[in-house]
Each structure stands twice: as C-alpha cells, then as structure tokens.
Structure 1
Amino acid sequence: MVKAKTGRPRSEKSREAIINATHDLLAEKGVAGVTIEAIAKRAGVGKPTIYRWWATSADIVLEAVLSQAETSIPVPTCDSLGEALRQFLRQSMQSIADGGGAHLRFLMAQAQKDEGFRERFRANFVAKRRAALVSIFLEAVEDGQIGSDHNLEMVVDMIFGAMWYRLLIGHAPMDKSFADELTQIILGVVQDKAKF
C-alpha cells in the first residue's frame, strides 16, 4: 500500500470511493482527467482527505493497480513451468484489456516526470510483480524443470520488456495469443542452454 502521510485511519468507504473515482476518470478522460480536484469531486470527499493518505494522484492509481494485480494476477500453482507462465501472462493480458493498460501507461508517464514517484512505483509495483514472476521460475528450478544456472532476472526483463514495449507503443495486440507466444519463446530460452 502506498501511503503519503500518517494520520487518522482511512475510512474504507472513502478509500473505495476514491479508488473507484480514479479508475472511472482515467477510463473516461485519460491522463488529463486524473487530478486531485476531479477525484475528490467524483468521490464526494474533500481534497484534504486525499492528501492525508496519498502524495499525488499517481499514488492513488498505483495503489489501485497494485491491489488489482495481487488479486487478478496471482502466482499460479501448476505442475509445469509452461502452464504456470502461460496462466500468469494470460491473466496479465486480461487485466490490461480490462482497463489496467491505461492505468499502467499513466503510471509509467508519471514515473518519467517525478523521480520520487518513480522510486515508489519501482518499490511498490515493479518489484512485487517481478518477485511474483521470479517465483514461478524458482519453483521450476526446485522441481528440476529447468537448470539453476539461468539468470532469472534477465529472463524476467525479457518478459516484462516485451510487455511494456507493446503496452507503451501499441504496435501489436496484448492478448491471449501474445501471452502464449511469449510463453513459448521464454520456454525455448530457459529449456535450451545453447540459447541462454
């Protein structure tokens, strides 16, 4: 959870209203519509309520995205690396299709403009999603499906690199077919030492 300041505990009802207002504004109006003023008006709360709990509108989006990712893109429990990776990537594509793509583009744009937010984004979202993906490969290593000599951080960079590139550039779809193709390419890398 991203928290700007300490203070009295949050009202869960106000928190949900703020998160929902942020989702709606981003979907309806894009980046320009996501201001603290607009969020407060849509959520029916005062700006001081928002500023007590979040430093910027991007931090609200970050909390919403992280919460969604943890529930809609869990680490799958499967017998094979291929199936676990395929499920993880398909769930990621579905989350992006369901509106998460706009949120992620907004967060990445904010991270380029605000170094402090970039650190919060990296620590609160990027690191957690990377850890989730690394855990899939570590389980495959423990089960003897792949060797322990792979640079798993580089493999994760390859996966998320392909995903972020498509998300930010928009030159090709982010769908089930992309998830499946990316899975096959990565399996080829980690299962063939000559390629890695």
Structure 2
Amino acid sequence: MVPVGPGSGRPGLDQTGAGRSGPGRSGPGRPRSERARLAILDAAADLLIEGGLAAATMEAIAARAGVSKVTIYKWWPSRGAVAVDAYFHRYRPEMGMFDSGDLARDLTAQITLMVDAFRGRAGAIMAELIGAAQTDAVLADQLRALWIKPRRDAGTILIQGAVDRGELRPDLDIQIALDQLFGPLYFRLLVRHLPLGDPMPAALVRAFLDGAR
C-alpha cells in the first residue's frame, strides 16, 4: 500500500506543518535546537502516558526535558498545544493512512489501526484531549490542525478516487461519508456505551459501501 502523506505528493496524516503552533516552523534569527524540541516532545508524551493531561504541566515537561519553561514557550503557546503535538509525535505512526487503490481494504485497515490504538493508552489520552478542547481554544485548534484536517484530507482523496473510478455514486457527500465511517469510533471512545471491538472496522465499511454504491 502507498502511504498517504509526505513524499506521496498527496495530503495525508503527516502533512501537518501548516498547523503547527511553533516547532514545525522556521523563523528569523538563530536556528532552533532540534534536540531540545524532541526532548520536550518526548518528555510531554511520557508524562501524558504516565498521568494524563494533568501530569503534563509546563513545569513537569521542562524538568523532564532538562529545559526552561521559557524554551518551551518559544515554540508552543500553551500546555495544551505541547500536549497535542507530543501526542502525535508519539502515536501518529500507529494510526497511519494508506492508499492501495482498494477502497474497502484501505478503509478497513485504517479503521482497524484506530480501533487498536484507541483501545489502549492512546485512546484514553485522545478522549482527554477532546474533552479539554471544549474549553481550550488553542488546544482545539492544534487538534484540528494536526489530526482532524489531515485525516479528513487523506480520507477525501481515498473516497474521491473511488468516485472517479466509478466505484461509488457521483453525488456522494464525502464529508458525510467520513463522519459515517469514523464518527462511531469517537462516539464509543467518549461515551463508552459499547466497546471498540474487532467487528467494527468491517461492519462500518460494509454499511458505508452498501449506501454509497
């Protein structure tokens, strides 16, 4: 399967530089320290895994990374922004997106990756980030820029390709289709009325294709 992302010439999960609040951008003056940036991201990710968002304070991140809070604030405007960036620094490879030209297989594979990740620590942290985003505008913007938009862009390419190949009907609303495919994962993650189970990926893709052809 071909990755949808950098190097593919197609927008995907990892093409997120435009949404970064600081560390992904270059600026005038002295070059930023990549070593310090990665130390901050690793420290924040470790703290998120160990104790959730409450543990990832600026003080704790600075102490764990061996930098000053001033250094962190040079690149990120808030604790929430660091946390979101650190989350995807750690977990993005586990939830990649691919385009093999086989829509059913690709969608099933992508949903399976998300189900597997969301059943573990990545899911608990994602739920906490989504909750915090309701009252933290900076965190919400970062979450949309680093996760929601890139994934929807990549999903749009996959589904539009199937429409162009005549596999799906031409009047399909792709944004609604993406909600239909991936929305149930977030609903179960947040509401917890039912588990994120193994049958979900195939069932969601089958229901989508039944209505989209």
TM over 0.5: same fold?
yes
- 1:42 matched to 2:60? The reply is no
TM-score (structure 2 length as normaliser): 0.79
Q: Take 1:167 and 1:181, find their aligned partners in 2: how far apart are those partners? A: 17
5+ residue gaps, structure 1: 192-196
Deviation sequence 1:133-184 (CA, Å, 0-9, x none): 1111111112221112100101111223211111112232224322222222
Q: CA deviation at 1:37?
A: 0.8
Specify the SS of the correspondent of 2:46. Answer: helix
TM-score (norm 1): 0.85
Deviation at 1:98, TM superposition (A): 4.9
2:193 aligned residue: 171
Which one scores higher on RCO, CA 8 angstroms, separation ≥ 6?
2
For these two proteins, the number of residue pairs brought into alignment is 191
SS at match of 2:98: coil
Which secondary structure state, in structure 1, belongs to the residue aligned with residue 199 of structure 2?
Answer: helix
CA-atom RMSD, angstroms? Answer: 2.2
Alignment of 1:17-28 (within 5 A): 17-28=39-50
Partner of 1:100: 122
User: Cα 1:155–1:14, aligned 2, differ >3 Å: closer, same or farther?
Assistant: same
User: 1:81–1:148: structure 2 CA closer, same or farther, 3 Å change rule?
Assistant: same
Larger mean Cα displacement after TM superposition, 68-77 or 82-91: 68-77
More helix by share: 1
**Percent identity of equivalent pairs:** 31
On the 8 A contact 2:48/2:55 being kept in 1, the answer is yes
Does residue 117 of the first structure (1) align with residue 139 of the second (2)? yes
> Is residue 90 of structure 1 aligned with residue 128 of structure 2?
no
Q: Select which of 173, 187, 194 maps to 1:151.
A: 173
